Structure 1
Amino acid sequence: MAGAERLGAALAHRLGRRVAAVGAPEPPIPGAWRAQLTAARPALRGLADALALALNDPFPTATVMGRCAAALATLPVVAQRHPDACVVWFDAHGDVNTPGAADVGYLGGMVVSAACGLWDSGLGAGLALDRVVLVAARDLDPPEQALIASGALRHLPVGPDLPARLAEAVAGRPVYVHLDVDSLDAGLVPSEYQVADGLPFADLHAACKGLADQRLIGLEIAEFEDAWPDGRPGDTAPLLAALDPLLRVLASNTGTA
């Protein structure tokens, strides 16, 4: 939550928007993912309500969340309000595991699959898997690799011509962008999960420049930590600079971040 607060404040200042906070910092919930989901569900429902209210306005939304698991609340709302939208999911992980399909034990690893109705989180579904574009994933579990290999899930790996590949995958649809900062190369941004061979800032900027040409529904950012393990504070400036093309779209409107 501390990282989300830091990044949220910087983002709101950059966009000239006010912040609407949902939830409050609490100690980590012990136990397996089911216990964590049960404890978090009231706050996640509050987040879903807040996003639904924000989507009543005609301009794109901006959301900062501590963990990707919070998207259990946001993706079903986007799917309901914008059934034609493409969700561009920047993440080092697939997040399409399901309970029992893999020994993940991690709620954040089952976010997209819940939104797509592959299991019931109690927070809704409605997102078609073929409307998800996974970008920069490189730490994938076997069930996730199987979905990609079958063609059920579109995956764009790190590499040349990402903006062109993204444009082809989005195919002119409205876009809702989720950015887990672990999609970036290890060492660039403080996050709990550091995965090598990710996106450099320049590649993220180029991808955002292409996405800014689409109709943007919203941007959500997850997993930014307040500090590095050695105590250095997290610097939001390089990340926001990489996101600048999308932030320019957001800043051209007014509303709530």
Structure 2
Amino acid sequence: MTFRPALTLYQGRAGDRNPRGVAGAAVVARALAHATGLDPTTVGTPAPPLGRHWETELDAARGDLRALAQHCDVLLAEGRPPITTMGRCATALATLPVVARHRPRACIVWFDAHADANTPATSTSGYLGGLVLTGAAGLWDSGLGGGLALQQVVLVGARDIDAPEQQLIDRGVLRLVPAGPNLGARLADAVGQAPVYVHLDCDVLEPGLVPTEYRVPGGLSLSQLNEAAAVLAQRERVGLEIAEFESAWEDGRPGSADELVEALQPLWSARTGPTPPPASP
């Protein structure tokens, strides 16, 4: 089967606390367009960040998130794997229920420093991005649908985990592949031969590799990310989404997504297998 992905740039709200995520999504989309030759379709309109409680943020974002869900629904119905760049991981409240409906057996491979599996009842921060997986699973009503089976989720590289999220891991509801040696082999064991839909939150990486809002020590290197991508590319690729890349570093230097895109090459390329590890900045 020909691998014919479609590139989408999401520019709407998703619980943003600064404008660098929306701008960063555009940076990643440009790098992917250059590398793949795909023309991105833009969904959503940039708006000033609110930095408010999750309910306010979700109400403000819901219109554009619904538009993204409808767009992904069309792509998956056509058999075109979506590659989506998004500012914040809360955008997956729109994409994951669509994936679950079209491909209920797909494994959701969630690269993130955080588990993002609190509920409104367990969250101490009230941050929308921390409620994504449970919202997509219908454990609370986002207004964007549910249907995701948490047992189909594999967390990769999560290390800043709240107590309620750790309970889900301990009970086997969520599976965790920690960062560390032999990541590719451990990930292959966790995923098996299931089709994969990959979410990458860039803070899964070791701080300093790409600009992100959160910096949690103990993350993946770019070569480890490439190793994991090569393993996942041996399975059917349902889609890829990239979040939490900020357009600039704290000192104002612009961020480049070229090495990130190169590390992810097995996931967006028509060919499979590892690529040479990108050089560290």
Q: Which range, TM-score by smaller chain? A: over 0.9
User: In the alignment, which residue of structure 2 is the partner of 1:147?
Assistant: 168
Q: How does 1:100-115 map to 2 (within 5 A)?
A: 100-115=121-136
Asked if 1:170 corresponds to 2:191, the answer is: yes
The 8 Å contact of residues 60 and 250 in structure 1, kept in 2 or not, is answered as no
- Distance (Å, rounded) in 2 between the aligned partners of 1:217 and 1:30: 32
Counterpart among 189, 194, 212 of residue 210 in structure 2:
189
Q: Which residue in 2 is equivalent to 1:33?
A: 54
Q: Secondary structure at the match of 2:199?
A: strand
Q: Deviations over 1:96-149 (max 9, x none)?
A: 000121312100000011111211111001010110000000011110111111
Letter in 2 for 1:62: I
Q: Which moved more, 1:27-36 or 1:110-119?
A: 27-36
Q: Which residue is 2:9 aligned to? A: none
Question: How far, CA to CA, are the matches of 1:249 and 1:197 in structure 2?
Answer: 31
Report the Cα distance in structure 2 between the residues aligned to 1:169 and 1:5, rounded to whole angstroms. 32
Contact residue 227 and residue 234 of structure 1 kept, 8 A: yes
Number of corresponding residues: 251
Which one of the candidate residues 182, 193, 198 is aligned to 1:161? 182
1:130 corresponds to? 151
Residue in structure 2 matching 1:4, options 25, 28, 38: 25
How much does 1:191 deviate?
A: 0.8
Aligned residue number for residue 60 of structure 1: 81
**Contact preservation (8 Å) 2:43, 2:67:** yes
Percent of pairs identical after alignment?
55
Number of the residue aligned with 2:45: 24
Superposition deviation, residue 247 in structure 1: 2.2
- Segments of structure 2 that go 5 or more residues without pairing to the other structure are 1-21, 273-281
Moved more, 113-122 or 130-139: 113-122
CA offset digits 1:66-93 (Å, max 9, x no partner): 1001000000000000011000000000
CA–CA distance in 2 between the matches of 1:29 and 1:47? Answer: 20
Q: Which amino acid in the other structure matches residue 110 of structure 1?
A: L
Runs of 4+ in 1 over 6 A off after TM superposition: none
Where does residue 219 of structure 2 map in the other structure? 198
- Scaled by the length of structure 1, the TM-score of the pair is 0.95
1:254 counterpart residue number: none
Structure 1: which amino acid aligns with 2:31?
A: A
Does the 8 Å contact 1:212/1:249 carry over to 2? Answer: no
- Residue ranges of structure 1 left out of the alignment (5+ in a row): 252-257
Q: Secondary structure at the match of 2:43?
A: coil
Root-mean-square deviation (Å): 1.3
Paired with 2:225 and 2:129, the residues of 1 have a C-alpha distance of 22
Deviation, 1:31, is 2.8
What does residue 97 of structure 2 align with?
Answer: 76
Corresponding residue number in structure 2 for 1:234: 255
What CA distance in whole angstroms lies between the structure 2 residues aligned with 1:238 and 1:180? Answer: 15
